[in-house]
Amino acid sequence: MAGAIIELDLRQLADLSAAIARYEQLVAAPEPLLDTIGQLLANSTEKRFDERTAPDGTPWAPVSEDYARRKQAGRATKRSAVVSDPGQVLELTLDLRRLVRHQVVGDELLVGSDRPYAATHQFGRGGIPARPFLGVSPEDEREIGQIVRHYLQL
């Protein structure tokens, strides 16, 4: 039986070789990529505060009537003043919104807040409903894919 053999050396394919080299470089030093993704996620979180929605698009639970009354009277927290819109969610002092940060540690990206009450609002606790503000939305996933393709120059 007659046969045919084709030998292919992937190193001879210039485009593929260049892509592999870029991938290897990205794996060896992912910090710039992760920092760019972190900036995207921090901006996306800021947008969620504007829209009052979770990463999956679910609207945040409204504040309770009791809490709205305390906010309106300026008695919600030690730092609160009388607010113009007591129905605002997660916006009393603006600390949670302002203090979402990202940090690259080696090959890991961390996005979050150091506020002690961040976990309570993210996951809910003690009668306070979860109002997730951290996470990756479907739009974030698409944008992250575009960022990675850009870094790999695909």
pTM here?
Answer: 0.76
Query: 3-class DSSP state for residue 16?
Result: helix
Give the pair of three-digit tokens for residue 118.
Answer: 């961040």
Sign (positive/negative) of CA torsion 10, 16, 17, 21? negative
What is the Cα–Cα distance from 151 to 37, expressed in whole angstroms?
11
Residues 6+ apart with CB under 8 A from 15: none
Section 136-146 average pLDDT: 96
Name the residue type at position 113.
S
Query: Percentage of the chain surpassing pLDDT 90?
Result: 44
Q: Over the stretch 57-114, which tens digit does the pLDDT of each residue have?
A: 999 888 767 666 665 555 555 554 444 454 565 565 567 788 899 999 999 999 999 9
β-strand pairing of 100-105 with 108-113: antiparallel
